[in-house]
């Protein structure tokens, strides 16, 4: 690597502490206005940077990588998910890709439990009544929800976040079930008191709450399709804090409208901010603006990981959080 400082382009606004440190260490170009880059602006950034720091809203495909030129050597993604980056094409062009795994585990798991409670206890409806001044007072049969203690929780994807959700759910007295590409080690499974299902169909038909905690890959796209959603109990609830593409959103909306599912808590959506308008109208759905990992502490820690990956690369070593195609 050259002895002069690396040129780093950051595509979105990051916490002040992170941006300041990036400026101290590298020749850093910040996005002061925090406006998402369009395709041409993103391509221009890739052409003038040694290192690009994108976020999940930056779609970096094979065509863009083919037009990026020879300067770009590292894509230091600000976030754990890399489904918006064509990692295979990047590797073919000699561009390394890194991410920030493990940082958002607890924050996302907390939000998963919060959504479970919000849906099953009707918290948004209660809040709306209070804000509208529409509460006549307490009565034994008003505002009834259901408890999560004693219910079966099915976790789709038992990685870091899935296991963190399981530990929290244990404290609420839930029975843990899971489906994962690989079965957990016996000691981990025993500690979580978790039941493994090789068949996703068999698991979803038995659980009361289904939590989506797997990444979006070609094999998980619409994993929860119309057929599989119909296997679920009409009293079941779905919570998704992972990736919206894992669920067929139109099929989910139809099922909720038809009473085939009791409710859903969604922090992510199949087409980003372009949410099915019929989904917005449903009273048994809690929608959040992708805020599962949105804590200041988490955002700073993500930035620190990005800086460590870039600094390690600048020193001539592999970034500690390098993403390889075999990992996807």
What the chain holds in terms of domains, given with CATH numbers, is 7-103+295-327 (3.40.50.720), 105-287 (3.40.50.720)
Q: CA 185: distance to chain centroid?
A: 24
> How much is the average pLDDT of 229-233?
98
CB 8 within 8 A of CB 55: no
pLDDT in tens, 117-140: 999 999 999 999 999 999 999 999
pLDDT in tens, 212-221: 999 888 899 9
The pairing of beta strand 27-29 with beta strand 51-53: unpaired
Rounded Cα gap, residues 15 and 62, in angstroms: 30
pLDDT, residue 217, reads: 87
> How much is the average pLDDT of 204-231?
96
pLDDT, residue 325, reads: 83
Q: Which pTM was predicted?
A: 0.88
Rounded Cα gap, residues 248 and 30, in angstroms: 36
pLDDT in tens, 277-317: 999 999 999 999 999 999 999 999 999 999 999 999 999 99
pLDDT, residue 327, reads: 65
The pair of three-digit structure tokens given for residue 313, joined into one six-digit string: 């690369």
Give percent helix, percent strand, percent coil of the chain, each to the nearest 5. Answer: 40, 15, 45
What is each CA distance from 213 to 111, 176, 204, 317, in whole angstroms?
Answer: 12, 14, 14, 32
pLDDT in tens, 159-179: 999 999 999 999 999 999 999
């Amino acid at each position: 690597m050259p002895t002069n400082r690396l040129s780093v382009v950051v595509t979105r606004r990051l916490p002040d502490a992170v941006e300041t440190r990036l400026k101290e260490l590298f020749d850093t170009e910040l996005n002061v206005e925090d406006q998402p880059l369009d395709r041409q602006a993103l391509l221009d950034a890739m052409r003038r940077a040694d290192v690009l720091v994108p976020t999940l809203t930056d779609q970096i495909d094979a065509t863009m990588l083919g037009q990026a030129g020879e300067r770009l050597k590292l894509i230091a993604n600000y976030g754990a998910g890399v489904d918006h980056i064509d990692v295979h094409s990047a590797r073919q062009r000699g561009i390394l890709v890194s991410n920030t795994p493990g940082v958002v585990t607890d924050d996302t798991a907390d939000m998963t439990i919060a959504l479970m409670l919000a849906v099953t206890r009707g918290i948004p409806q209660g809040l709306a009544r209070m804000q509208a001044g529409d509460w006549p007072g307490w009565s034994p049969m008003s505002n009834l929800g259901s408890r999560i203690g004693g219910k079966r929780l099915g976790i789709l994807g038992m990685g870091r976040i899935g296991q963190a959700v399981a530990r929290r759910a244990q404290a609420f007295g839930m029975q843990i079930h899971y489906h994962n590409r690989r079965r957990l080690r016996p000691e981990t499974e025993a500690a979580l008191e978790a039941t493994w299902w090789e068949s996703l169909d068999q698991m979803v038909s038995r659980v009361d709450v289904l939590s989506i905690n797997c990444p979006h890959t070609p094999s998980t796209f619409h994993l929860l399709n119309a057929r599989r959603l119909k296997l679920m109990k009409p009293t079941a609830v779905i919570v998704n804090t992972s990736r919206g593409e894992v669920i067929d959103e139109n099929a989910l909306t139809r099922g909720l409208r038809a009473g085939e599912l009791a409710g859903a808590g969604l922090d992510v959506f199949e087409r980003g901010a372009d949410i099915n308008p019929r989904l917005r109208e449903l009273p048994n759905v809690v929608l959040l603006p992708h805020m599962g990992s949105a804590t200041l502490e988490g955002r700073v820690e993500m930035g620190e990981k990005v800086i460590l990956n870039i600094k390690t690369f600048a020193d001539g070593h592999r970034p500690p959080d390098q993403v390889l195609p075999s990992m996807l």
